[in-house]
Amino acid sequence: MTELSARAILDRLVAFPTVSRDSNLDLVDWVEDYLSGFGVSARRVYDATGKKAALYANIGPEVDGGIVLSGHTDVVPVDGQDWSTDPFTVTERGGKLYGRGTCDMKGFDALALAMVPVALASDLKRPLQIALSYDEEVGCIGAPPMIDDMVTHLPRAAAAIIGEPTMLRPVTGHNASIMIRIHVQGYEVHSSKLPEGVSAIHEAGRILAWVNDCNAAIQAETPDALSALFDPPFTTAHVGIIEGGTAHNITAKDCYLNVGFRSPAGDNPERHAAALEAFLDTLHATLRQRHPQAGISYARNFGVPGLKPEAEGTAEAIIRRLTGDNGTHVVTYGTEAGQFQERGYSAVVCGPGDIAQAHQPDEWIAVDQFQKGEALLRRVVGTLV
Residue 321: CB partners within 8 Å, gap ≥ 6? none
* Helices 6-14 and 367-382, packing angle to 10 deg: 120
Task: Report the C-alpha gap between 100 and 87 in whole angstroms.
Answer: 5
| CA angle in degrees (0–180, nearest 5) for 332-337-340 | 150
Phi/psi for 210 (5° steps) reads -60, -45
Taken in order 209, 211, 214, 219, the sign of the CA dihedral is: negative
Of 280, 356, 316, which is closest to residue 162 (Cα–Cα)?
316
**Looking at residue 383, what DSSP letter applies?**
T
Distances (CA, A) of 37 to 3, 30, 57, 71, 122: 9, 11, 13, 21, 17
End-to-end CA distance of the chain: 23
**SS3 of residue 209 by DSSP:** helix
What residues does 58 pair with on adjacent strands?
129
Active site positions, annotated: 74, 136
Task: Report the C-alpha gap between 225 and 309 in whole angstroms.
Answer: 12
**CA-derived radius of gyration, the chain:** 23
Of 346, 359, 339, 351, which is closest to residue 141 (Cα–Cα)?
339
Residue 354: CB partners within 8 Å, gap ≥ 6? 103, 165, 167, 366, 369
Q: Residue 32 CB: number of other CB atoms within 10 A?
A: 19
Taken in order 298, 77, 20, 265, the sign of the CA dihedral is: negative
**Looking at residue 60, what DSSP letter applies?**
S
